[in-house]
Structure 1
Amino acid sequence: MSPKRAWLFIFLILLIDQVSKVYIKTHYSLGERTEVVSWFQILFVENDGMAWGTTLSDIFSFISDKSAKLILTLFRIIAVSFIGYWLFSVIKKKKSKVLIVAVILIFAGALGNILDSVFYGILFNDSYGQVAAFLPEEGGYAGLFYGKVVDMLHFPIWEGFLPEWIPFFGGQHFRFFEPVFNIADMAISSGIGILIFFNQRAFRELPKTDTPSEASHNNLT
């Protein structure tokens, strides 16, 4: 895959991700939902932390919420920089398309969520009991690097009480699928899934092709 194609792919993922987030942020108040079908809802939530809404301050009680948010955002920026370098490397070395597509998905998804964390706090006001405005006169709801990630895709496919015979969780209320996520999360999960389930195809060494000069030399010999 050429670098141009890779960047086009990344741009399209980011465009879909950011358009969907800006639409939700400027058309829904926090917690508002629209039922598309019984098992799929548009539900606006904001994630201030890591996966499942966990924050560093939940893990390390001595870290304040504000410091935890800044550390997490900076960590994401460093992580996506390494992923970007990895992507540049696999394209340059002409690794398998499966690996390149997987890294593209992970990179684009991570970058999409970083945009929220870095910029959304200064671009929008808060969504508590109201629909947020873009570039409000009174300023945004947080400073640079303190934005929250916008999530909206919810798939409550099944909800009920688990059978009593299930160890540890029997009789408890359960909903599948509980998490609310976004397009960027889908891209990251898809990329990781490709690396897990197509591991051998992703990391196999492709046969080297001769350069024009080498091919000419081989023909003469």
Structure 2
Amino acid sequence: MIKFYLITLILINLDQILKIYVKTNLELGQSLKRFKWLKFFFIENPGIGYGYHLKYGDIEKIIISIIRTILIVIYFIYFYRNRKNIIYNYLKISICLLLAGSISNLLDCFFYGVIFNQGLIFTNKTWTGYEGISKFILYKKKGYSFFMCGCVVDMLYFPIFNVIFNIADTCISIGGLIFLLLPRLDSNQRHPD
């Protein structure tokens, strides 16, 4: 079981290292082409995913952060209580991926507004960007937002899909697909019609 917790921690760390690197080295909207099929394109997501922007700003962000926290705690408790009953490794991997992605994106929401000097902010009923490169704030200085009101950093752009996301989003998507599809495939193989 320890190796599955270790996988979760490694994925969270990889995602956070890449996000912090991008946020502290690229300007908002800046892109770097790495391969024909992959670019780094730095955006911040003030919403809940897939480009959905919140209409009421920080109040919605706090409510969503609380709901995300509750769901992660429920999911973790379920995983911990049922760890001996989950016999299929693909389900364990699915749960690890879902937890890693959810926790890492939640860390952005919880702390990025407090530890960085710049980020998207909600003013006059719209999300406003910024110029320059974000920096970690020094002791006793104020971040761009409040606890639970930070924006999620996205940077992976695959032109073939025309969507920008991060490692955490990838973990959530793959983990969700494994959780939904593999048990059905497994049951179809056991009980052919």
> Shared topology, TM-score over 0.5?
yes
CA 1:30–1:203 in structure 2 vs 1: closer, same or farther (change >3 Å)?
farther
Structure 2 CA distance, aligned partners of 1:21 and 1:149? 9
* 1:55-70 alignment runs, 5 A limit: 55-57=53-55, 64-70=56-62
Structure 2 CA distance, aligned partners of 1:135 and 1:56? 26
1:162 is aligned to none
Q: Which of 137, 144, 147 is the aligned partner of 2:147?
A: 144
Q: Which of 48, 60, 68 is the aligned partner of 1:50?
A: 48
Structure 2 CA distance, aligned partners of 1:48 and 1:199? 34
CA RMSD of aligned residues (A): 1.9
Indicate whether 1:186 and 2:170 are aligned.
Answer: yes
Q: Which of 127, 130, 143 is the aligned partner of 2:132?
A: 130
Indicate whether 1:25 and 2:23 are aligned.
Answer: yes
Structure 2 CA distance, aligned partners of 1:141 and 1:203? 50
2:90 is aligned to 98
- Counterpart code for 1:135: I
Contact 2:33 2:39 in 1 (8 A): yes
Structure 2 CA distance, aligned partners of 1:108 and 1:98? 15
TM-score (norm 2): 0.85
Q: Which of 69, 74, 96 is the aligned partner of 1:77?
A: 69
Instruction: Give 1:52 shift.
Output: 1.9
Structure 2: stretches of 5+ with no match in the other structure: 120-129, 189-193
Instruction: Give 1:203 shift.
Output: 8.0
Structure 2 CA distance, aligned partners of 1:109 and 1:180? 15
Structure 1 CA distance, aligned partners of 2:135 and 2:147? 17
TM-score (norm 1): 0.74
Structure 2 CA distance, aligned partners of 1:109 and 1:90? 20
Contact 2:46 2:54 in 1 (8 A): no
* Bigger radius of gyration among the two: 1
- Counterpart code for 1:143: F
Structure 2 CA distance, aligned partners of 1:114 and 1:202? 32
1:167 is aligned to none
Deviations 1:58-113 (A, max 9, x none): xxxxxx32211111111111111111112213313243111111011001110000
Q: Which of 160, 164, 181 is the aligned partner of 1:197?
A: 181
Structure 2 CA distance, aligned partners of 1:198 and 1:78? 26
Paired residues, number: 177
Structure 1: stretches of 5+ with no match in the other structure: 58-63, 158-176, 205-221
Instruction: Give 1:56 shift.
Output: 4.6
Structure 2 CA distance, aligned partners of 1:132 and 1:21? 12
Structure 1 CA distance, aligned partners of 2:49 and 2:109? 14
Counting aligned pairs with the same residue, the percent is 32
2:104 is aligned to 112
